[in-house]
Amino acid sequence: MKLSTIAFTMAHAALAGSAMSLIFEIDPILLGGLFAILTAFIMGPFSDYLRIPLDSASMTLFSIYNALTFIFLMMAPGPTLASEKVGQILWGSVLAITPTYLLILFTLTSIYVSILYVFWGRICSILFDPKLAEAEGVNVKRYTYLLTALAGIVIVFTLRITGGFLVFSLLFIPSASSLQISESLKKQILTSSIIGAMASIFGVSLSFSFNLPVGSCIVIGAAAIFLAAALLSALFRRRIVEAIPLEQR
Amino acid sequence: MSYAVEMREVSAYYFGEKKPAIIDVTLTIPINSLTLIVGPNGAGKTTLLETILGLLEPRRGNIRVLGHDIPREAAKIRKLCSYLPQDFMKPPGEPFSVKDVVAMGIASNREFGKLGNEDWKLVEEALTMLGIAELADRPIGRLSGGQQQKVMLARALVRKPKLLLLDEPFSALDEDSRRFISTSLLPKLIDSGCTVIMVSHDASFTPPRCDLTIRMEEGRIVGVVSHDLRSST
C-alpha cells in the first residue's frame, strides 16, 4: 500500500475543503473534514472499480484537489490570498491550539492506538503482502478503507496547526526519519511519534518566540531531525562495514 | 466429500484481457493427495491456483473447494487454505522479523488477528521444522532467497491448512532442502489430512509421492496422469 501517497492526497482534499469553507464563511474543519473523509471512502472503491493502482488514483485526485483549492481561494470573498483566514488554512495557526483541540487530538490518538493494538496482526499482514493476506482470508479492502479513513480524520485535525501545505510534511518526515533509525514496524511507529512530538514542540516554541507560522516551524524542526537521523544512520552503517575485515566484505 | 477441488469448464480472465488466462478447465483433485501442475511459463499454472482461491473470479464454469462454492464462499474457504506465492522476495528494508512473518499466517484465523502464547509456540515449531529457528529474530529482507522461501513455507504450514497451494516452492532452495521437503515434510502433511497442489515449470522434478500430474499449456489442461492408476488422458 502506498499509504504516504494516500495521506498526501487526503491532506490536499482537506485543503480544498477548507478553501471552500472560505466561500461559505463556515468553520474550515467542517468542509475540510468532509472532503478528507469522503476521499478516504471513495479512493479505494474508485481504484478498485477502475482497476487502477491506488497510488495512480490518489495522485489524480491530488491534482484535482490542487486545482479546486486554487479555484475556491479565488472565489473567496475579500482580497485573494491576503486574509488571515486564508493564511490559517494554508500555513496553520498557533491560535488553533486550545485545550478542547488538545482533548480531540488525545481522543483521536487513543482510538488510533486501540485500533492498531486490536488489529495489529492483520494490519501487519496487509502491509507485508496484501495479496497473500487476501489469500489467507483477511478482508484487505475493509482494513485498507479503515486505515485510510483514520488517516483522513487525523489529517483534518492536524490541518489547523500546520495548514494544508505542510500537513503532509508533518505526517511524512517523522516516518521517513524513523525508517533511518529503526528496523521493526513497532519501533518505527514509536520513534516516528516521538519525532513528530519533538518537531511539534520545537516548531510551536519557535513560532511563539519569533511570531512565525507554526506549520512552517514544525516542518523545519522535523526536517532537521530527519537530516540528523539520516547522518547518524549513514555513520553507524559505515562503522559496521568498516568493522568487517576487508577479505570478508 | 471426496474431492478437495472440483472445477468444471472454468475459464478466467485477467482484467482488460481479451484472451482467457485459463480455458475450459475441468479437473478433480482428491483429498489427501499431492497434485503436481507442470507446464511452460505462461501456461496458466499460477492463474489456476489463484482461481481455486477465488483471487481471480471465473467468468464461466463452477468451482468447489473443500465442498464450498468459489468465489461465493471464498472468504470462508481461504481460512482453511495456505498459499505460497511465486514472488516472495522482500527488500532489505522490510520492517518485519522472520517470526513476525510466520505469525501473520495465524493472524487471519484468529479473532481480530490477536495471537496467544500457544500461537507463538506454533510459530517456533514451524521454524524448527524447516531448520530456520535461529533466524527467528532476523529481519526477513536480510535473508537469502532460499531462507526467505523457507520462511514463507513456514508461514503456510503454521496455519495447519486443509489445502496447501505451492507456487514454485523449490525455486530458491538447495538440493538438500528440496529433498527434505519433498520426501519427508510433504508426505507427512498429506498423511495428516492435507491436500497439496504444487506448481512447477521444472518437468524434470517430480516429488517421490505424487498422486496426480496435470500438464498445462496456453491456459488449457493438456494431460492428466494419475500415478495410482497409471492412466493418462
Model ipTM value: 0.90
pLDDT at A160: 75
What's the length of chain B? 233
A52/A87 same-domain check: yes
In this prediction, residue B93 has a pLDDT band, given cuts at 50, 70 and 90, of: confident
Domain that holds residue A84: 1-163
Q: B67 with B81: CB under 8 angstroms?
A: no
Of A136, A179, A184, Cβ closest to residue B108: A136
When CB atoms are compared, the residue of B79, B81, B95 closest to A183 is B95
Indicate whether A58 and A74 sit together in one domain. Answer: yes
Domain termination site, one of A128, A163, A198:
A163
Residue B200 cell numbers, joined = 512447477
> Do A151 and A213 share a domain, yes or no?
no
Closest Cβ opposite residue B114 in set A121, A131, A137: A121
In a domain, A78, yes or no: yes
Of the listed ranges A27-36, B6-15, B66-75, B189-198, the one predicted with least confidence = A27-36
A176 within some domain: yes
Predicted local distance difference test score (pLDDT) of residue A244: 62
Quick one: which of B52, B68, B67 has its CA closest to B1?
B67
H or E stretch including B116? Answer: none
Residue B95 to chain A, least CA–CA distance (Å): 4
Q: Which of A43-52, A154-163, B86-95, B222-231 has the highest mean pLDDT?
A: B86-95
Fold of B1-80+164-233: Rossmann fold (3.40.50)
Q: Do A61 and A114 sit in the same domain of this protein? A: yes
Question: For residue B7, what are the β-bridge partners?
Answer: B27, B63
Query: What is the dihedral sign for C-alpha A93, A98, A102, A103?
Result: negative
Kind and range of the H or E run holding A21: helix A3-24
Contact status of A188 with chain B (Cβ, < 8 Å):
yes
Band the pLDDT of A83: cuts 50, 70, 90: low
Q: Tell me whether strands B68-70 and B22-30 are parallel, antiparallel or unpaired.
A: unpaired
What would the grid cell of residue A165 be? 501545505
Whether residue A19 has pLDDT greater than 70: yes
| Beta carbons of A219 and A230 less than 8 angstroms apart | no
**Which of A56-60, A138-142, A193-197, B162-166 comes out lowest in average pLDDT?**
A56-60
pLDDT over 90, % of chain A: 17
| For residue B142, pLDDT beyond 50 | yes
**Do residues A31 and A153 share a domain?**
yes
pLDDT of residue B66: 94
What integer best gives the mean pLDDT of chain B? 90
Q: Scanning the structure block, which residue is given the C-alpha cell 492412466?
A: B231
What's CA B31's distance to the chain center, in Å? 14
Angle made by CA atoms A38, A185, A102, in degrees to the nearest 5: 50
> Are residues A31 and A83 both part of a single domain?
yes
Mean pLDDT over B7-32 rounds to 91
Model confidence at A95: pLDDT above 80: no
Look up residue B184 and give its DSSP letter.
I
pLDDT class for B231, splitting at 50, 70, 90? Answer: very low
Give chain A's mean pLDDT: 83
* Chain-chain contact of B105 with A139 (C-beta, under 8 angstroms): no
C-alpha cell at B191: 498423511
Taking the domains of chain B in order of start, what are their residue ranges?
1-80+164-233, 88-160
A159 and A171 co-located in one domain: no
What's the whole-number mean pLDDT along residues B206-227?
90
Whether residue A247 lies inside any domain: the answer is no
Residues 6+ positions from B43 with CB-CB distance below 8 Å: B201, B216, B217, B218, B219
**Residues A76 and A199 both lie in one domain:** no
Phi, psi (deg, nearest 5) at residue B201: -90, -10
Structural domain tally of chain A? Answer: 2
In whole angstroms, what is the distance from residue A188 CA to residue B100 CA? 15
B232 confidence band (pLDDT: 50, 70, 90): very low
Cβ contact, residue pair A125, B112, below 8 Å: no
Count of Cβ atoms closer than 10 Å to residue B136 Cβ: 17
Distance CA B231, CA B208 (A): 18
Residues A176 and A221 in one domain: yes
Classify residue A249: in a domain, yes or no.
no
A217 and A179 both lie in a single domain: yes
- Judge whether residue B229 has pLDDT over 50: no
Q: What is the pLDDT of residue A233?
A: 84
Report whether B22 contacts B214 (CB < 8 A). no
Q: Are residues A158 and A172 in the same domain?
A: no
Interatomic CA distance for residues B117 and B135, integer angstroms: 19
In a domain, A155, yes or no: yes
| A204 inside domain | yes
Q: How far apart are CA B99 and CA B103, in angstroms?
A: 6
CATH number at residue A11: 1.10.3470.10
B71 preceded by a cis bond (ω within 30 of 0): yes
Instruction: Encode pLDDT of A183-219 as tens digits.
Output: 888 898 899 989 999 998 898 899 889 988 778 888 8
What is the predicted pLDDT for the residue at B8?
A: 95
Q: Is the pLDDT of residue B84 over 90?
A: yes
For residue B104, the chain A residue with the least C-alpha distance is: A125
CA-CA distance, B231 to B225, in Å (whole number)?
A: 6
A180 and A86 belong to one structural domain? no
